[in-house]
Amino acid sequence: MLTVLRVSSDDRGSFLKVELSVLPSTKAGTALSSLRKNSKSIAKKLQTKTRLKRIPKLDWNLDLYNNSDYELDMIFKQIEDEKMNNLNILYKQAWQKFNKLKYFNCWSC
């Protein structure tokens, strides 16, 4: 997932600095190189969608200070994994108790 966080222009309007956030962060390098490689085609699409006569040169940058999204995703994943592990433990304990009761009832018959 790619999110545009900020766009800023220089005084003359010849450069646009685009700051991005990429999730998962392991794909950040791939996303950045792909954007840089396709900057001209992105600029052409911008020109057709806007009324600007001249599209500024696009400068793609990763926002390194906004990695909290990735960290939150990892925390939520860890919580979900712990829940699943706890459920598996409870399931095993309940199954063991059930088996003990089953054998106990059979022998007492």
Residue 66 has pLDDT above 80, yes or no: no
Q: Is the dihedral of CA 95, 97, 103, 108 positive or negative?
A: negative
- Give me the pLDDT at residue 86, please: 83
Amino acid identity for residue 82 in this structure? E
Length of the chain: 109
- Give me the pLDDT at residue 41, please: 92
57 bridge partner residues: 15
pLDDT digits (tens, 9 = 90+) for 30-48: 988 999 999 999 988 988 8
- For all residues of the chain together, what is the average pLDDT? 82
pLDDT digits (tens, 9 = 90+) for 2-24: 888 889 988 888 888 999 888 77
- Give me the pLDDT at residue 106, please: 56
